[in-house]
């Protein structure tokens, strides 16, 4: 009611209530509340408090750890990490005796690959190949989390580089032991000892220096010592005593996910517990699957997958994100229940965030409204409406030209990638964008899969550009895009895509104008000539550098300061009008402004304006 306590005492004055017994925090009965409100001339409205129904948690969670007696030995999961171009993929090729590196675009790995390698001794190792390029740090972190052992590849001729250090950090965060593979030892300039010394600074102490990290000198190209590396890995795995429980519901992790033309959403996963069979119902993130079929890294169909096996799973309803946890549930209704619960939980989170934002906005509005009221506070209503009318008049609509200007420094993007991880990497790069004051970068849509009609329509609506990474756009789509004036840019190397994006941003920036000097002349004498009844001052000059061209622009410099800018009314050599005066020649010239007083020793510069294309100041760091 916005009244103080005295008002309430007054309102209850001549009633049967004992006023003296009322304290500030006393509780009033309903009758008296109604009485007070009636006296204040207000209306009373009762409302009931709603009881929030708490939804019960329907989430699926991992099972408690199994009984040690049930565990059986499993093969190790090994992640290969290291700087870009240090030979991780070549090393893996040699172990698998296949060619992956030859198929890579631009020779750099841009996906996580999972491969099962059988050694001659009958041991099996699951290898994860992670990208070494700076853009894919999230993929490397994910690789470190599902793994048992990290093989750190360092080139002997290159030493410890930025991503090497980052890989060590990821391995430490995940508390995973490291095996050091010093690669390219067949090169003449290789210096393995230098590498070991450099690594000491990052707490990776090799056995030669009294530490516990095994260092193996290998050459992936010639295949030298690869068996020693495999043995070192197996030895470490034996010490770790890796075991898993092959019974009960499956648990695993999504390594990568992508959409396949004929098979729909597909995920590569590593099984960590249980045995996966056809027909199982799985939940990962906010999507679920009934396993239609499974295949290994060579595309061969398999019927069951044991712990630490990498496996491709077909049958997902939606695409789960890379890094999601896979859990097996008993039935489809249960899977739907889990997914619904997770979506509900996410919504609740979002609602909470939205509420706080709304609350802040509301406060701002109230404050603004109060200030506005204060401004009009004492005025008569006629004056008030006149002021409002004046203000409205000032808020003119944007003219089309201004609108175009506003749009030109904004770049809306639609991003499509082949797998979830690469889209994530591109978004992470875009998060580093810090040049919004030059050109706004706006992400309209991103997704996994080939470029579709929907993407083109979105890009058209927002006047945006479509970037595709390792995806295709059919000829029909490309024609439709051309018709709508939408640019589709397809790349299969990450840094080319970033360079292209930088170029696109630069093209949206306004050009800068630079003055380009054509010639310089110094004033040697001043005299005036009469034209009709007017006296016109003329400067006698000698050209010192370049040449003076009459149509171009001129400026007058005195003691290093620009006194005047403009053009010439006449330029003469002896008595003839000329348009160009070359170096060393004398000339007479008069300026287009008579008020300017010329002095001996002034400098006259002939220049032209050149437009220079601006370049974006954003540097993603590689």
Over the stretch 67-94, which tens digit does the pLDDT of each residue have? Answer: 888 888 888 888 888 887 777 777 877 7
pLDDT band at 322 (very low <50, low <70, confident <90, very high): confident
- pLDDT for res 391: 75
Is residue 619 domain-resident?
no
Please indicate, yes or no, whether residues 149 and 222 belong to a single structural domain of this protein.
yes
- pLDDT (tens digit per residue) in 340-388: 999 999 999 999 999 999 999 999 998 888 887 777 666 777 777 777 7
328 compared with 95, residue with greater pLDDT: 328
Asked if residue 49 belongs to a domain, the reply is: no
Residue 60 lies in a domain: no
Per-residue pLDDT at 193: 85
The phi-psi region of residue 196 (left if phi > 0; otherwise alpha if psi is between -120 and 50; otherwise beta) is alpha
pLDDT (mean) for 468-484: 90
What CATH number corresponds to the domain at position 319? Answer: 2.40.30.10
Strand (E) or helix (H) holding 404: helix 400-408
Same domain, 490 and 535: no
The yes-or-no verdict on residue 619 having pLDDT over 90 is: no
Predicted pLDDT at 137: 61
Confidence of residue 143 (pLDDT cuts 50, 70, 90): low
> Any idea which of 141-145, 216-220, 259-263 has the lowest mean pLDDT?
141-145
Angle at 264 between CA 258 and CA 266, to 5 degrees: 40
- Cβ proximity of 268 and 311 under 8 Å: yes
Residues 196 and 267 in one domain: no
**309 three-state secondary structure:** coil
Supply the range of the domain harboring residue 463. Answer: 406-509
Residue 142 has what pLDDT?
A: 66
Using the predicted structure, report yes or no on whether residue 124 has a pLDDT greater than 80.
yes
More confident residue, 58 or 417: 417
Nearest residue to 428 via CA among 440, 438, 436, 420: 420
Residue 50 inside a domain? The answer is: no
Mean pLDDT of 488-495: 88
**Measured at the alpha carbon of residue 90, what is the angle toward residues 84 and 95, in degrees to the nearest 5?**
135
For the ranges 187-196, 389-398, 539-548, the maximum mean pLDDT occurs at 539-548
DSSP annotation of 102 reads G
Exposed, middle or buried, 485 (CB in 10 Å: 0-12/13-18/19+)?
exposed
DSSP 3-state of 542:
strand
Total domain count, the chain: 6
DSSP state of 55: P
* pLDDT surpassing 90 at residue 332: yes
Nearest-angstrom CA–CA distance, 257 and 447: 12
- The residue from 366, 399, 432 where one domain ends is 399
* 255 part of a folded domain: yes
Whether residues 392 and 419 fall in one domain: no
pLDDT of residue 78: 86
DSSP secondary structure, 348-376, as one string: HHHHHHHHHHHHHHHHHHHHHHHHHHHHH
Kindly tell me if the per-residue pLDDT of 110 is higher than 60.
Answer: no
Mean pLDDT value across residues 260-277: 86
621 belongs to a structural domain:
no
Whether pLDDT at 414 is above 60:
yes
pLDDT surpasses 60 at 614: yes
Task: Provide CB contacts within 8 A for 155, sequence distance 6+.
Answer: 83, 85, 86, 87, 182, 183, 184
From 244, 261, 291, the end of a domain falls on: 244
Is 80 a member of any domain? yes
Residue-level pLDDT at 105? 47
Query: What is the DSSP secondary structure assignment for residue 275, as one 8-state letter?
Result: -
- Counting other chains too, the contacts that 60-64 makes at CB distance below 8 Å and 24 or more residues apart are 60/283, 60/327, 60/329, 60/334, 60/338, 61/327, 62/251, 62/325, 62/327, 63/248, 63/249, 63/251, 63/273
pLDDT tens track for 160-177: 888 888 888 888 887 888
**So what's the pLDDT on residue 490?**
92
Highest-pLDDT range among 142-146, 166-170, 188-192, 248-252: 248-252
Q: For 57-61, 484-488, 491-495, which range has the lowest pLDDT when averaged over its residues? A: 57-61
Average pLDDT of the segment spanning 194-211: 85
Residues 225 and 101 in one domain: yes
One domain, residues 454 and 501: yes
Q: How confident is the model at residue 99 (pLDDT cuts 50, 70, 90)?
A: very low
Residue 339 pLDDT class (50, 70, 90 cuts): very high
pLDDT of residue 341: 92
Q: Are residues 221 and 184 located together in one domain of the fold? A: yes
Report the pLDDT value the prediction gives residue 44, as an integer from 0 to 100.
85
Give the whole-number percent of the chain exceeding pLDDT 90.
Answer: 16
For residues 547 and 599, membership in a common domain is answered with: yes
Structure tokens at 60: 């699926």
Does residue 558 form part of some domain?
Answer: yes
Query: What is the pLDDT, as a whole number, of residue 395?
Result: 65
Please state the three-class secondary structure of 451-462 as a single string: CCHHHHHHHHHH
Q: For 613, phi and psi rounded to 5 degrees?
A: -70, 135
The predicted-structure confidence for 282-291, as pLDDT tens digits, reads as follows 999 899 999 9
Residue 101 is predicted with a pLDDT of: 47
Average pLDDT over residues 319-342: 90
The residue behind tokens 């075991």 is 243
Domain stops at, among 186, 221, 244: 244
Same domain, 111 and 238: yes
Residue 146 three-state SS: coil
87 and 190 in a single domain? The answer is: yes
Place of tokens 């049958």: 315
Distance CA 356, CA 311 (A): 43
What gap in Å lies between CA 266 and CA 326, rounded to an integer? 13
Task: Find the mean pLDDT for residues 253-271.
Answer: 84
Q: Residue 445 sits in a domain of what CATH number?
A: 3.40.50.10050
Contact partners, residue 47, CB within 8 Å, separation at least 6: none
Instruction: Check whether residue 412 and residue 347 sit in a common domain.
Output: no
Residue 98, pLDDT > 70, answer no
Residue 474 reports pLDDT greater than 80: yes
Neighbours of 452 (CB within 10 A): 14
Do residues 192 and 167 share a domain? yes
What average pLDDT does the structure give for the chain?
83
């Amino acid at each position: 009611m916005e009244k103080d306590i005295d008002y309430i005492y007054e309102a209850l004055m001549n009633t049967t209530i004992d006023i003296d017994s009322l304290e500030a925090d006393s509780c009033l009965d309903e009758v008296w509340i109604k009485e007070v409100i009636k006296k204040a001339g207000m209306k009373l409205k009762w409302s009931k408090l709603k009881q929030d129904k708490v939804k019960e948690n329907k989430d699926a969670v991992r099972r408690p750890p199994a009984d040690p007696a049930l565990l059986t030995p499993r093969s190790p999961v090994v992640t290969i990490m290291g700087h870009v171009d240090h030979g991780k993929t070549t090393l893996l090729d040699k172990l698998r005796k296949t060619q992956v590196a030859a198929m890579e675009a631009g020779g750099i790995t841009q996906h996580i690959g999972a491969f099962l390698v059988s050694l001659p001794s009958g041991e099996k190792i699951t290898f994860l190949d992670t990208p070494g390029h700076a853009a894919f740090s999230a993929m490397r972190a994910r690789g470190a989390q599902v793994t048992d052992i990290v093989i750190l590849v360092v080139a002997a001729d290159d030493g410890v580089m930025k991503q090497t250090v980052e890989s060590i950090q990821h391995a430490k965060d995940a508390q995973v032991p490291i095996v050091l593979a010093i690669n390219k030892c067949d090169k003449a300039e290789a210096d393995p000892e230098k590498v070991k010394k450099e690594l000491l600074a990052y707490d990776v102490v090799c056995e030669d220096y009294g530490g516990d990290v095994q260092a193996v000198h290998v050459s992936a190209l010639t295949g030298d010592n690869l068996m020693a590396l495999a043995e070192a890995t197996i030895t470490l795995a034996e010490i770790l005593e890796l075991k898993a429980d092959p019974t009960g519901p499956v648990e695993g992790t999504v390594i990568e996910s992508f959409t396949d033309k004929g098979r729909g959403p597909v995920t590569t996963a590593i099984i960590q517990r249980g045995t996966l069979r056809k027909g199982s119902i799985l939940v990962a993130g906010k999507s679920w699957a009934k396993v239609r079929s499974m295949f290994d890294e060579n595309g061969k169909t398999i019927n069951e997958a044991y712990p630490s096996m990498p496996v491709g799973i077909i049958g997902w309803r939606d695409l789960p994100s890379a890094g999601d946890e896979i859990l097996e549930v008993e039935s489809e209704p249960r899977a739907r229940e889990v997914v619904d619960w997770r979506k509900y939980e996410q919504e609740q989170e979002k609602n909470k965030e939205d509420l706080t934002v709304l609350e802040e906005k509301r406060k701002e509005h109230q404050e603004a409204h109060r200030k506005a009221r204060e401004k009009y506070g004492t005025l008569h209503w006629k004056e008030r409406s006149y002021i409002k009318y004046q203000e409205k008049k000032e808020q003119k609509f944007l003219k089309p030209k201004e609108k175009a200007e506003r749009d030109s420094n904004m770049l809306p993007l639609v991003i499509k990638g082949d797998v979830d991880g690469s889209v994530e990497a591109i978004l992470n790069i875009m998060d580093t964008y810090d040049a919004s004051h030059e050109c706004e970068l706006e992400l309209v849509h991103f997704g996994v899969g080939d470029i579709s009609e929907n993407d083109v329509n979105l890009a058209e609506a927002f006047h945006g550009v479509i970037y595709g990474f390792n995806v295709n756009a059919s000829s029909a789509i490309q024609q439709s895009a051309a018709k709508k004036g939408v640019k589709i840019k397809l790349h299969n190397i990450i840094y080319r895509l970033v360079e292209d994006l930088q170029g696109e941003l630069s093209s949206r920036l306004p050009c800068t104008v630079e003055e380009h000097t054509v010639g310089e002349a110094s004033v040697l004498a001043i005299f005036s000539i009469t034209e009709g009844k007017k006296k016109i001052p003329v400067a006698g000059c000698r050209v010192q550098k370049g040449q003076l061209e009459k149509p171009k622009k001129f400026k007058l410099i005195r003691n290093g300061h620009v006194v005047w800018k403009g053009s010439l009314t006449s330029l003469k050599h002896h008595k003839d009008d000329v348009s160009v005066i070359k170096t060393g020649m004398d000339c007479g010239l008069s300026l287009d402004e008579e008020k300017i007083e010329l002095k001996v020793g002034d400098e006259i510069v002939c220049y032209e304006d050149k437009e220079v294309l601006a370049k974006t100041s954003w540097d993603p760091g590689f």
